[in-house]
A and B are shown apart, each in its own frame.
Chain A
């Protein structure tokens, strides 16, 4: 021992000093922030929990529902949605269409303004639509507005953007020409891809125009702050034409991917709404949060796609048989806790312009008869007793509920003597597989409406819809009906044609519809003006918060 014993005290002292610093750091030395209750008294703030974060606030780069919800608050298109999810005039106060139904004239409101006080002019829409279609922008959903004249060719680099069928006629009139008549065109204009953009700020800041300090918007709210995975703060836009009727001062979106934790935060009053509930907690939520739990029909279909290019799924009888024996009531109630509806149509109920959808022919036949019929169809196709054994592989993206659904279906198919294998992959792998389209048997898929029109579901079965026709279904009659509906001028006749197309699709069963979605929201009773609707869209403009 060469050192003096006293030196060793250093280590001990150091240890205790660190401990003391640590205790101080954790003590209430930090300025305590006012809780939610404190700040709510002065300002009316909607603390809004959402299942995820926006990937981009650029309307041309956005793709998800959460992005759409935020962009609807920030921007107002020619038309917009009311609290019930119905189309109402937005920046356009009125519009007319020519007799050929391909040229629309929109009259813009004279009091429409950007959040910096600039007037919203027709040129802002011309600029935005051209930017959407310019290949350099790389807008993932540009194809939704391929309805615009020359849009597809411009987006594929075959024509210059100046040839797009959108022009400013004068200071207040915007003319939009379509490639061909599109009866659903006006409802498409409520989509996030159809928002106007403030040219000057984009030209000044480039892709940074979405930063809070730079972003100029024309909707009821404007961007104040955004921290990924934390919160996005919107404040009321004083220049919005109807701002006198906007009650909220702030709207704060919280990204809450852990649904159970979100429910706890809702119960603690930290958020006033949340747009999902974990299926395994439905019973608890129904028991303890009955008043706040809103389950409403949603425009979304949950289905399996057959690979109709290959045997044996190119055979309508096999597809029908497999579809017929599925107890959809069981799936909706027992697997999904009543948060889904049994699906018997391809277009979910609730599209106003379409009325009640067509349904499968055997919807009301009793299950035993259906099973007998399914066995007969399979036997005709050469499967079952005396024939081959049908083996099916279901591909699905990993999720507890998708898996439980597939397991239940495998069990139901067992009654037909069908053997089933499940192949679950992560979502990206699954969707990449569907995009590449190698041969498969059955794959899980689904669809949510971009705009509330039956065409937005039925076009999934068109043979020219390469990207979205997962079943590779190809039927000349179906394509013909869809084309007829597209050019039909009478809404009644169009509706009848679309019903005919849907009936054909259900008879052919390239898509085995299992369920239709219902949205499941937690909404505090203090949140006034929140209306359930099929688009599950809830603009802050119509909401207020009770003290």
Chain B
């Protein structure tokens, strides 16, 4: 298992470096810079500002400086939020996005698995189709439609929850964003779970278990173990995205998370902020892929053995 772990880490490190380099140079290909705003600056002043932020240096030198500060764990000053460093911004925003995302993922796993189970176990023929239908509904409804509907229904009409705002993370303010984030994930997990479970229940070893007269729940435990593999693979990918914030959900509900920095950073050419978000997302995706690999290896020994050198 250790060898397996190390081999995965060994591929993740160069991947991370390539992502950082690509992001740095691609960002500079976009026309304009951080000081090109609606009200044009005096050319001399703009030149002075580029000098202050060292944007007048040759690109390779800027990249080298950036790598040096990155090696010290510094993400640099934000060019838009000029009173903060990127690390300071993330220190506030990342825990908020991660907490919301984690709650949404938990809800998705529990509700999705439960729905998938219900569909797969259903004795009536319509059962799986009903779950499938509901799930497709959940997948196709975009969150920018769901979020305002929830705001209108539960916030404005019934007055049971606040329409928006973070309010230092009061639970009332979290319910709608978590629900919005979780809904499409519930749908996907339910579909994956149901399909995998139906497949698993048809496998020869399950038939053998049935033939031995094992009690129902034992059979499902075995089937679930096999059925979890595709769900876990999917969740790894989804977690990297959900935990690092959703721009749509955060903008609609007014949540001070990471999501907004992606868009605002890119549109405003806030180079350091863009690099910071890329690094955070890349690290999250690589980390969750690694975790998924480890869980899959634990769930299915074949994965472990396959990675051994032959």
Residue of B whose beta carbon sits closest to that of A53: B81
**How far apart are B109's CB and chain A's nearest CB, in angstroms?**
8
Q: A19-B110, A138-B52, A264-B148 are in contact. Are A55 and B171 (CB under 8 A)?
A: no
- Chain A residues, CB < 8 A from B224: 11-12
- Chain B residues, CB < 8 A from A256: 164, 254
**C-alpha gap A470/B38 in the complex (Å):** 12
Q: A12-B221, A15-B113 are in contact. Are A268 and B163 (CB under 8 A)?
A: yes
Q: Decide: B148 and A260 in contact? CB cutoff 8 A.
A: yes
- Chain B residues, CB < 8 A from A207: 83
Q: Decide: A227 and B103 in contact? CB cutoff 8 A.
A: no
Indicate if B276 sits at the interface (CB-CB under 8 A): no
- Chain A residues, CB < 8 A from B172: 32-33
Residue in B82, B255, B267 whose beta carbon sits within 8 Å of that of A427 in the complex: B267
- Chain A residues, CB < 8 A from B307: none
- Chain B residues, CB < 8 A from A308: none
Indicate if B218 sits at the interface (CB-CB under 8 A): yes
**How far apart are B100's CB and chain A's nearest CB, in angstroms?**
12
Indicate if B251 sits at the interface (CB-CB under 8 A): yes
Residue in A32, A211, A270, A432 whose beta carbon sits within 8 Å of that of B33 in the complex: A432
**C-alpha gap A28/B160 in the complex (Å):** 13
- Chain A residues, CB < 8 A from B260: 229, 257
Q: Decide: A428 and B254 in contact? CB cutoff 8 A.
A: no
- Chain B residues, CB < 8 A from A495: none
- Chain B residues, CB < 8 A from A350: none
Indicate if A119 sits at the interface (CB-CB under 8 A): no
Q: A428-B31, A432-B32, A433-B31 are in contact. Are A155 and B45 (CB under 8 A)?
A: yes
Indicate if A111 sits at the interface (CB-CB under 8 A): no
- Chain A residues, CB < 8 A from B170: 30, 32-33
Q: A138-B48, A138-B49, A264-B151 are in contact. Are A230 and B163 (CB under 8 A)?
A: no
Q: Decide: B171 and A30 in contact? CB cutoff 8 A.
A: yes
Indicate if B21 sits at the interface (CB-CB under 8 A): no
- Chain A residues, CB < 8 A from B147: 261
Q: Which of B42, B43, B93 has the most CB of A within 10 A?
A: B42
Indicate if B156 sits at the interface (CB-CB under 8 A): yes
Q: Decide: B165 and A254 in contact? CB cutoff 8 A.
A: yes
**C-alpha gap A208/B45 in the complex (Å):** 23
**How far apart are B169's CB and chain A's nearest CB, in angstroms?**
8
Question: From residue 78 to 97 of chain B, which have CB atoms closer than 8 A to chain A?
Answer: 80-84, 89, 92-93
Q: Decide: B49 and A426 in contact? CB cutoff 8 A.
A: no
Fill in one digit per residue for B28-63: 1 if any A CB lies within 8 Å of its CB, else 0: 001111011111111111101100100000000000
Q: Which of A431, A446, A468 has the most CB of B within 10 A?
A: A431
- Chain B residues, CB < 8 A from A431: 32, 36-38, 40
**C-alpha gap A5/B32 in the complex (Å):** 65
**C-alpha gap A22/B112 in the complex (Å):** 14
Indicate if B76 sits at the interface (CB-CB under 8 A): no
Indicate if B168 sits at the interface (CB-CB under 8 A): yes
**C-alpha gap A497/B263 in the complex (Å):** 46
Q: How large is the interface on A (under 10, 10 to 19, 20 to 34, 35 or more residues)?
A: 35 or more
**How far apart are B211's CB and chain A's nearest CB, in angstroms?**
13
Chain B count of residues within 8 A CB distance of the other chain: 72
Residue in B45, B171, B253, B254 whose beta carbon sits within 8 Å of that of A142 in the complex: B45
Q: Decide: A55 and B81 in contact? CB cutoff 8 A.
A: yes
Q: Decide: A261 and B164 in contact? CB cutoff 8 A.
A: yes
Q: Decide: B218 and A5 in contact? CB cutoff 8 A.
A: yes
Fill in one digit per residue for A155-168: 1 if any B CB lies within 8 Å of its CB, else 0: 11000000000000
Q: A22-B110, A63-B39, A427-B38 are in contact. Are A140 and B155 (CB under 8 A)?
A: no
- Chain B residues, CB < 8 A from A18: 106, 109-110
Indicate if B268 sits at the interface (CB-CB under 8 A): yes
Indicate if B217 sits at the interface (CB-CB under 8 A): yes
Indicate if A96 sits at the interface (CB-CB under 8 A): no
Indicate if A496 sits at the interface (CB-CB under 8 A): no
Indicate if A434 sits at the interface (CB-CB under 8 A): yes
Q: Decide: B82 and A56 in contact? CB cutoff 8 A.
A: yes
Q: Decide: A261 and B148 in contact? CB cutoff 8 A.
A: yes
Question: From residue 438 to 473 of chain A, which have CB atoms closer than 8 A to chain B?
Answer: 446, 466-468, 470
Residue in B41, B81, B220, B269 whose beta carbon sits within 8 Å of that of A467 in the complex: B41
Q: Decide: A264 and B152 in contact? CB cutoff 8 A.
A: yes
- Chain B residues, CB < 8 A from A208: 83
Indicate if A170 sits at the interface (CB-CB under 8 A): no
Residue of A whose beta carbon sits closest to that of B221: A8
Q: A142-B45, A261-B163 are in contact. Are A11 and B221 (CB under 8 A)?
A: yes
Known: A22-B107, A227-B92, A261-B251. 10 other contacts (CB 8 A): A26-B107, A26-B175, A140-B41, A142-B42, A229-B93, A258-B252, A428-B268, A429-B30, A431-B32, A467-B42
**B-binding residues in A (CB < 8 A):** 5, 8-9, 11-12, 15, 18-19, 22, 25-26, 28-30, 32-33, 35, 53, 55-58, 61, 63, 135-136, 138-140, 142-143, 155-156, 207-208, 210-211, 227-231, 254-258, 260-261, 264-265, 267-268, 270, 425-429, 431-435, 446, 466-468, 470
For the complex of A and B, 6 pairs with smallest distance between CB atoms: A432-B32, A230-B256, A428-B32, A432-B36, A8-B221, A56-B82
